[in-house]
Structure 1
Amino acid sequence: MTDAPLREVRRAVYRPVREGNALEDTVARLVQTIRLGVVAPGESLPPERELAALYAVSRDTVREAIRELADTGFLVRRRGRYGGTFVADPLPRPSERSSVPAEELEDVLGLRRVLEGGAARTAAARTLSPEIRAELWARHEEACGAGEADYRRLDTMLHLTIAEVAGIPSLVALLAENRARVNAWLDTFPLLPRNIEHSNAQHEAIVTAILAGRPDAAEAAILEHLAGSEALLRGFLG
């Protein structure tokens, strides 16, 4: 089993940016890729030429975006035969926790409930191939076996895999953008060991319901799971 995310997840983060704000949007898309863990700390980004083609921007724009993120500690550039652009390991952490306006927090979390609840319900209603079933369960096991340093990344990969299993490519892009915003907030406070144990048990309930073809149970399980992280976000950021 590889850490590489599924095809639609990669399409979601490596898609053309909007015209008019190419540099800003390229920086934002690279940050999204990092926040979601699509490229793990210590791993390399695709080459500049490939990124330019994927984002439909010039190589100069990609180079400038990488420079901006290198200056802030998110990326590291290396020269030589095995050089390239790598995600910093460890990633920089916010120096101080700031509050988030209640309206913004509730907007993002409300959208997350709609997107992830719908993804779990839709995934459970589909007839899944043996390969997809194995992939989904493997993502769950990877998150269960993750250490603290890698947990949030593999947790994110599981949630994005559920969205991909739903079979609606545009849903993956929306959920990836939403999840990146949530991850940026989660990264401002530490993981809680007992919360990880509870989260893993809830993940098993979600995945089991999807694999059993029980849409109601899958949606209910993921909404209960999301409520736990919502409580932490409100407590730390409110």
Structure 2
Amino acid sequence: MTPLRDALFRPVRAGNAFEETVERLVRAIRLGAVGPGERLPAERELAGRLGVSRVTLREAIRSLQDAGYVESRRGRYGGTFVTSPPPAPAPGGRVPAEDLADALTLRAAVEAGAAECAADRALDPVERRNLLARLAECRDAALEEYRRRDSRLHLAIAEATGSSSLTAVVADARARVNELLDRIPLLPPNLAHSNEQHEGIVGHILAGDGEAARRAMAEHLDGTAVLLRGFLA
């Protein structure tokens, strides 16, 4: 491997392994470390370098194949190849790094804080039922409905703080992030992972564990941030 590939295919963190694997692969493609028509490193080697299971790597590659970034070829000289040419960014798809960082920093600050505040507050039965209902809606959402229902769950968490001012700030932050999310593909493994994280976040809130709710929300938001930086930065 070249020094550039060594730098790009470094180990990912465990918490958002799928999302970070996608980010590493997209960045390597966009930076030309693996150019159009070139083959990605062999699965065993790549999984070892990234520090992920081969199942996680296959899910990431399959998602990028569905999004048009790579293609699989069979036979003696087969493997996973970067499409030639790779998909062009959607109009307005690239985002200035400082604008992306600003939106993600605001979201991380207000939503992690909202999760902690909601957990530290004594929720009444109506508020608890509302959180569980929004959680179920998100879990059962069809692909085309997912982001809308995901937003409803995050806003329900903000509402559970009892602060209209904080809820308004979370809504503004979420609106900015939704504009960014609309520019990247929906990746089903990421949505399944998000749903698992949602279960944990809501569980900590209902259990009244503010610190755990903050940590779980921060990890969840970091997974989304990784994908946004990979596709848009």
TM bucket (normalised to shorter chain) is: 0.5 to 0.7
Distance in 2 between the 1:149 and 1:157 partners? Answer: 14
1:207 Cα deviation from its structure 2 partner: 0.1
Residues 73-122 of structure 1 show CA distances to partners (whole Å, capped at 9, x for unaligned) of xxxxxxxxxxxxxxxxxxxxx95352111111111111111100110000
Residues 184 and 228 in structure 2, CA contact (< 8 A), matched pair in contact too:
no
Corresponding letter in the other structure for 1:184: E
Aligned length: 145
Whether 1:127 aligns to 2:122 is yes
Distance in 2 between the 1:214 and 1:104 partners? Answer: 33
Whether 1:217 aligns to 2:212 is yes
Distance in 1 between the 2:162 and 2:175 partners? Answer: 20
4+ long deviations beyond 4 Å:
none
- When normalised by structure 1's length, the TM-score is 0.59
Whether 1:157 aligns to 2:117 is no
Partner of 1:140: 135
**Which residues of 2 match residues 9-88 of structure 1 at below 5 A?**
none
Distance in 2 between the 1:152 and 1:123 partners? Answer: 22
Corresponding letter in the other structure for 1:197: A
Distance in 2 between the 1:97 and 1:190 partners? Answer: 14
Partner of 1:108: 103
Whether 1:96 aligns to 2:118 is no
Distance in 2 between the 1:121 and 1:104 partners? Answer: 26
Secondary structure, counterpart of 1:98 in structure 2: coil
Structure 2: runs of 5+ lacking an equivalent: 1-88
Partner of 1:56: none
Among 180, 186, 190, the residue aligned to 2:181: 186
Distance in 2 between the 1:155 and 1:95 partners? Answer: 23
Structure 1: runs of 5+ lacking an equivalent: 1-93
Distance in 1 between the 2:208 and 2:221 partners? Answer: 20
Secondary structure, counterpart of 2:216 in structure 1: helix
Q: Name the CA shift for 1:170/1:123 in 2 (closer, same or farther; >3 Å).
A: same
Residues 117 and 161 in structure 2, CA contact (< 8 A), matched pair in contact too:
yes
- When normalised by structure 2's length, the TM-score is 0.61
Residues 194-221 of structure 1 show CA distances to partners (whole Å, capped at 9, x for unaligned) of 0010000000000000000000000000
Residues 58-80 of structure 1 show CA distances to partners (whole Å, capped at 9, x for unaligned) of xxxxxxxxxxxxxxxxxxxxxxx
Instruction: Quote the sequence identity (%).
Output: 53
CA RMSD of aligned residues (A): 1.2
Secondary structure, counterpart of 1:201 in structure 2: helix
Distance in 2 between the 1:118 and 1:168 partners? Answer: 12
Corresponding letter in the other structure for 1:153: R
Distance in 2 between the 1:102 and 1:223 partners? Answer: 20
Distance in 2 between the 1:150 and 1:214 partners? Answer: 30
1:149 Cα deviation from its structure 2 partner: 0.7
